[in-house]
Chain A
Amino acid sequence: ELKVEQNPLFLSMQEGKNYTIYCNYSTTSDRLYWYRQDPGKSLESLFVLLSNGAVKQEGRLMASLDTKARLSTLHITAAVHDLSATYFCAANTNAGKSTFGDGTTLTVKP
């Protein structure tokens, strides 16, 4: 059974600081997603990572995947208030099964 562990669950940051969210998964996964959810809203796709060593960047967010360590990271650079949200990782098999982490609630303070 595929399990996904995300940490930290809560993160309070100051603007301008850097931080990393970690996503560990228990068995082989074929693709790893990162999503953002704002309060009361739906989920928005941020990144899809398919292969070992994959790195994707969008603005202040960068995601990477290490399939050997079964670890994905979401790195936040020079945080700004607009990045405050809940971030989820999800590990998927090619057969379509999807398992989410519990989410990391990020608060960026001035």
Chain B
Amino acid sequence: EAQVTQNPRYLITVTGKKLTVTCSQNMNHEYMSWYRQDPGLGLRQIYYSMNVEVTDKGDVPEGYKVSRKEKRNFPLILESPSPNQTSLYFCASSLWTGSDEQYFGPGTRLTVT
């Protein structure tokens, strides 16, 4: 089944404790992206990647890191999480050619206390 998977789905952590949210797709997609969704602020892009070893900042990259060592994986790293990073995070992927749609993962709800 074609899908984007994220882990963990839910995470409660404390300020400053490094964490990684994994994202994996099985569709051989070139493009992958991370978004955060906050009430009243909609969805905002954090980082995106057009291909392996190519990443770029979105609108809200501060406090986050990403890497794209393999085509299928695009982990989101919070080196020192803070309470303002409490949010719902979505990973997405796409072939990024023609009119190909973007597929979203199920989301990761992160709470930083």
Given A42-B90, A43-B90, A100-B44, A95 and B50 touching (CB < 8 A)?
yes
* Number of interface residues, chain A, beta carbon within 8 A: 21
Chain A residues 29-55 with CB under 8 Å of chain B are 31, 33, 35, 42-45, 48-50
Q: How far is the CA of A97 from the CA of B33 in the complex (A)?
A: 9
Q: How far is the CA of A50 from the CA of B99 in the complex (A)?
A: 7
Q: Does residue A88 face the partner (Cβ distance < 8 Å to B)?
A: yes
Q: Does residue A98 face the partner (Cβ distance < 8 Å to B)?
A: yes
17 contacts between A and B (CB under 8 A): A35-B104, A42-B104, A43-B90, A43-B92, A44-B104, A45-B101, A48-B99, A48-B100, A88-B43, A95-B50, A96-B48, A97-B56, A98-B33, A98-B35, A98-B58, A100-B43, A100-B45
List chain B positions with a Cβ less than 8 A from chain A.
Answer: 31, 33, 35, 42-45, 48-50, 56, 58-59, 90, 92, 96, 98-107
